[in-house]
Amino acid sequence: MKMEIRRLFPGDDALVMRIAEDVFDEPVRPDRLAAYLASSGHFMIVALADGIVVGQCAAVIHRHPDKVSELYIDEVGVAPAFQRQGIATNMLDAMFELGREHGCEEAWVGTEPHNVAARALYEARNEPHGPAEAFVMYVYKL
């Protein structure tokens, strides 16, 4: 099986039409994917196994007037059959490099306290800027 870690660009929509189960939270809508890939500062890295998306990592640059630019890792997902093979780590490495190329000095990611697999992934990185922080998140329907 040929595994490839690849950044998506506008026009790469067709690459994301064959997706393994549980890579994304919901079905991918082509119009949303196209808008995402066309948006400045939005990045997506995918893991392809024989042309099927088995992993994805999405991130957004947050620019601030008073702080360094940050790369917010919004989503990381790997199909269950492909987990524990280094795919998520490789996608994060590629995304962090992309963030550095775009002037980001920090990257951050959050997960639920009970998501043991995600926490193990993030805590295993050899370069965290300290321990996990507790925070409270509010979601508003618009």
Question: Left (φ > 0), alpha (ψ -120 to 50) or beta: where does 69 sit?
Answer: beta
**Distance separating alpha carbons of residues 109 and 71, to the nearest angstrom:** 9
In degrees rounded to 5, what are phi and psi of residue 133?
-100, 145
Domains in the chain: boundaries: 3-109
Give first-to-last CA distance, the chain, whole Å.
43
What are the tens digits of pLDDT across the range 11-25? 998 888 899 999 999
Q: What is the pTM of this model?
A: 0.88
**Class of the 3-109 domain?**
alpha beta
The pLDDT assigned to 87 comes to: 96
Using DSSP, state whether 10 is helix, strand or coil: coil
Dihedral, 94, 97, 101, 105 alpha carbons, nearest 10: 140
**Distance separating alpha carbons of residues 82 and 68, to the nearest angstrom:** 35
Residues of the chain with pLDDT > 90, as a percent, come to 66
The pLDDT assigned to 129 comes to: 66
Q: 119 versus 47: which is more confidently predicted?
A: 47
CB 45 within 8 A of CB 94: yes
- pLDDT of residue 120 exceeding 90: no
The pLDDT assigned to 1 comes to: 75
